[in-house]
Structure 1
Amino acid sequence: MDSAQAFHYKNTLLRCPSQPLQKAVFLLWWFPGPVEQGWYLKYINGGRENFIAICFHDDQVKLFCASDLRSIRIDLNSNFPSEWNMVEVVWSCYNQITQRALPLIQVFLAKETVEMFTFMYAKVFQTLRSEHDINVQWKHLHQTGLVGITIDQDYKNLMGFGHYLSSFVDQQHRDWTWQVKRCVRFCSVQFQQRA
């Protein structure tokens, strides 16, 4: 494949949120480049150690403004080829009409650490605020907004979310444990599957 074909292939992958998106993200991980407006890929940063990519359709994130949105679910997926050393984080909400989870945001991380999850939450909500004028609020802090999130048993994700709320959202900077006790629930299906 010559350089023109490679460039075209990379651009095609980045514009389509289909399965080849994982390949596109992997390409940008190895060969960093700028993110263009209108792409499904909204933000990418870091080298192989601190890599993060945030992906969503503009119409998808408008669901954050829906009056009936009370919580979001954050799922981790580590089913990638071992050489990728990457984790996918899918943000979704439950839709009453379709009775299915609707994906909102897809994030790729190079590693699962508390710091990476804290940065992920901060960057996603900053991107929503700066690019779409969506300021997500939390009921336990603002008396309005999202009641909370549902997550699996990943303690790094739990701590990262708590640290995000404590450092970036709560003006009183209460401890991360105080935050998660008021707005995090664990997915019971995860517990049942592992029992």
Structure 2
Amino acid sequence: MYAVVGCTNCSAMWLLSDAHTAESATCPRCGRTHQTKKLRHFVEESDREAARQARSALLAKRDGNSAAFADTAHVAKMERTLADDTQQVSDNEYLSGVGINPDAVENAAQSDDATRQSRPEIIRSAISSQDAPTEEDIISYATDRGVPTDAARELLEKLIRQGNLTESHGTYRLL
């Protein structure tokens, strides 16, 4: 048995599936706990779908939308239609439909992924992309990619201490 019940605190309406057996129910909107025997039962139905439809009708009536509700399909049918429609729309169709170029989005995502490196990764890239990188070359490369000069110097020292790279005669090499 399903009952459409209402909260005395916030006026929310919800379905209660065990209205006659449960001792208490909690309002999904405000969280207040009610004794089920004291809750007002607007409608009782044996079928869940019928109870959902009754709740929808009560909400429409309360909000002054009874005429609009009468013109709409059953709640379960609208739900199925919505589920069917959303499964048929691809991301590209959706983006195009709201006026966004899907190719531009894809290109932006790829370029963002390519440029999003951590500071240590930038230092490593600076070393691996050059034949005989000096400290000046590495710091210049890193600062061009947004790493502050002092941070680049500290990272070089840290990577050497950790044993990730070595420096010999002013030239750096990854290990």
Q: State the TM bucket, normalised to the shorter chain.
A: under 0.3
Relative to the length of structure 2, the TM-score reads 0.25
Q: Give the number of the structure whose residues are more often helix, by fraction.
A: 2
Relative to the length of structure 1, the TM-score reads 0.23
The higher-RCO structure (CA 8 Å, 6+ apart) is 1
Higher gyration radius (CA): 2
